Amino acid sequence: MTRAWLGIDIGTAGVRAAAYDADGRRLAEATADRPPAFPGAGAMVHDPEADWWGGSREAIASVVAAIGGARIEGIGLAALFPAACLVDADGRPVGEGILYGDRRAADETAVVEGALGVRLTGDEVTPRLRWLRRSDPDSWTRAARALPPAGYVALRLTGRAMIDPNSAARWGGIAHGGDWDDDALARLELRRELLPPIVPPTTIVGEVTTEAAASTGLPAGTLVVAGASDSFAALLGSGVRGPGDAMIYYGSSGTLLVATGSFAAAVADASVFEPGSPFRLTAYAPNSGGFFERVRTEIFGGASYAELDAEGATVPPGANGVFVLPHVSGRMVPAVDPDARGAIVGLRLDHRRADLWRATLESFGWMLMDALQRLERPLDWVVAGGTGARSDTWRSIFSDMTGLRQVRGPADAGTRGAAFIAALATDGVDGVAAMRDRWLADQVRAPATEPDPVAHDGYTELLPGWLALDAALVGRR
């Protein structure tokens, strides 16, 4: 009988599940669309039961049905972060699942910073917990736990709550050394019992209950492993191992994630996870994927990505003088400015949609170039991850802008990483090196995207102009 490991990736737009054998071959995958809702000014939410658990249940059932007689040895979880919901003593939600892009608690961010002496990016959970206590006292009184998306799904699968250490470290100044900080909680008047236990990624949380088995098709007793944030899982699932490795993520948000520590140590040790360790968010364009989609549908009438990319590829570096600032949801890096806004600058009557699309694709690339100037060491191995990495045009633009050679990562990096963590926890693989050497061997050997030195020189000459524009229109750097 084939041994298999199931990875579940709870994302911004939905849930993906996939099963893999001991050599990393994907046996089946399924997705359940669950886009966020925007019910009011500044709000960005999911319904924990319908979206996190309902989407997981739907995707899991499809995969279980597709793999037939394969035996699932373990289930690994990954999820978007920072995000949280409140649940009552029976584990049922008492409100919305508040996502990283929700801005309703912005006034509490400064309060938390002042109380703890930390700098926040504005997407953390801690200010939102304080805001919920103030804005919805009834739900706050009923709340027994605050859970991240993966913690909520783990609760529904096993009856046990948890949070992975990467998500906990990004909740906002209240977790250090792999545990909750009692002094910080006291300063913010938050109850420790409200928070789930922080467990290392390879921790076996529990077993699938009879109730969960009936609704998913999983065998009761299947082991559930804590897993990690979607970023850590995607990095691991793309073959990132440690310092010198990085991932450019072409997803719902654009990010440059740079490894700063050993991933082999991180999978088993919660204390490894601190802000900036074992990886650092070096460039970040929140909701840039949504911005690109709006440009495609609202400005260009729904033209296909393939059509627009083909046109954009004909435009020279610098988009014939058009610059785009992608700060549609504020700016987080290098300086936090939640009030920053996007901009399109330099338009002339002779510009075409190809120029504007090229400038849109380049927009995050300028942020990458800026970020690379601040790195302490050069990057040796860079993987292109996320759905947008399928675009040859976009990858080529980013390689030309940064001068970096990019290995194309797997489209299923999040589920692959989550399943791999489950395999590590259940003796299915013998170490983190097996991801690149065994589970991704064919991917790593595939042709990479190489930079054009002439184009890179041209972008380097243009970068000071983009930075000056960014500083003038956005401000603080």
List the CATH number of the domain containing 114. 3.30.420.40
Residue 337's pLDDT is 81
The answer, yes or no, to whether residue 413 has pLDDT greater than 90, is yes
Residues 280, 225 within the same domain: no
* pLDDT band at residue 475 using 50, 70 and 90 as cut-offs: low
Residue 79's pLDDT is 98
Summarize the confidence of residues 341-363 as an average pLDDT: 96
Within a domain: 265: yes
Residues 97, 226 within the same domain: yes
Q: Which of 230, 261, 276 represents a domain boundary (last residue)?
A: 230
Summarize the confidence of residues 9-38 as an average pLDDT: 97
126 with 119: CB under 8 angstroms? no
Residues 175, 125 within the same domain: yes
How many structural domains is the chain composed of? 2
Residues 201, 147 within the same domain: yes
Within a domain: 170: yes
Residues 148, 214 within the same domain: yes
Task: Kindly state the percentage of the chain with pLDDT values over 70.
Answer: 99
* pLDDT band at residue 477 using 50, 70 and 90 as cut-offs: very low
Residues 221, 295 within the same domain: no
Within a domain: 419: no
Residue 83's pLDDT is 98
155 with 197: CB under 8 angstroms? no
Residue 44's pLDDT is 96
The answer, yes or no, to whether residue 476 has pLDDT greater than 80, is no
Residues 225, 246 within the same domain: no
Residues 226, 244 within the same domain: no
Q: What is the pLDDT of residues 95-113, one digit of tens each?
A: 999 999 899 999 999 999 9
Strands 381-385 and 245-250: parallel
Within a domain: 124: yes
Q: What is the pLDDT of residues 181-204, one digit of tens each?
A: 999 999 999 999 999 999 999 999
Mention every residue, 6+ apart, whose C-beta is less than 8 A from residue 239: 245, 381, 383, 407, 409, 435, 436, 440, 443, 444
Token pair of 315 as six digits: 């435009």
Task: Kindly state the percentage of the chain with pLDDT values over 90.
Answer: 89
Domain span at residue 99 reads 3-230
Summarize the confidence of residues 157-165 as an average pLDDT: 97
User: Dihedral angle at the C-alpha atoms of 119, 123, 128, 129, nearest 10 degrees?
Assistant: -70
Within a domain: 423: no
Q: How far is CA 252 from the centre of its chain?
A: 8
161 with 196: CB under 8 angstroms? yes
Question: What is the rounded distance in angstroms from the CA atom of residue 438 to the CA atom of residue 442?
Answer: 8
Residue 194's pLDDT is 97
Find where tokens 């170490």 sit: 431
Residues 210, 302 within the same domain: no
Q: What angle do CA 466, 472, 477 make, to 5 degrees?
A: 80
Q: Which of 230, 263, 297 represents a domain boundary (last residue)?
A: 230
The answer, yes or no, to whether residue 58 has pLDDT greater than 50, is yes
Q: What is the pLDDT of residues 117-143, one digit of tens each?
A: 998 988 999 999 999 999 999 999 999
Summarize the confidence of residues 288-299 as an average pLDDT: 93
Residues 197, 246 within the same domain: no
Q: What is the pLDDT of residues 435-465, one digit of tens each?
A: 999 999 888 788 999 999 999 999 999 999 9
Within a domain: 421: no
The answer, yes or no, to whether residue 383 has pLDDT greater than 50, is yes
Question: pTM above 0.95?
Answer: no
Residue 68's pLDDT is 86
Averaged pLDDT score across all residues of the chain: 95
Residue 331's pLDDT is 84
Residues 217, 342 within the same domain: no
Within a domain: 9: yes
Residues 124, 200 within the same domain: yes
The answer, yes or no, to whether residue 318 has pLDDT greater than 70, is yes
Within a domain: 432: no
Q: Which of 230, 255, 283 represents a domain boundary (last residue)?
A: 230
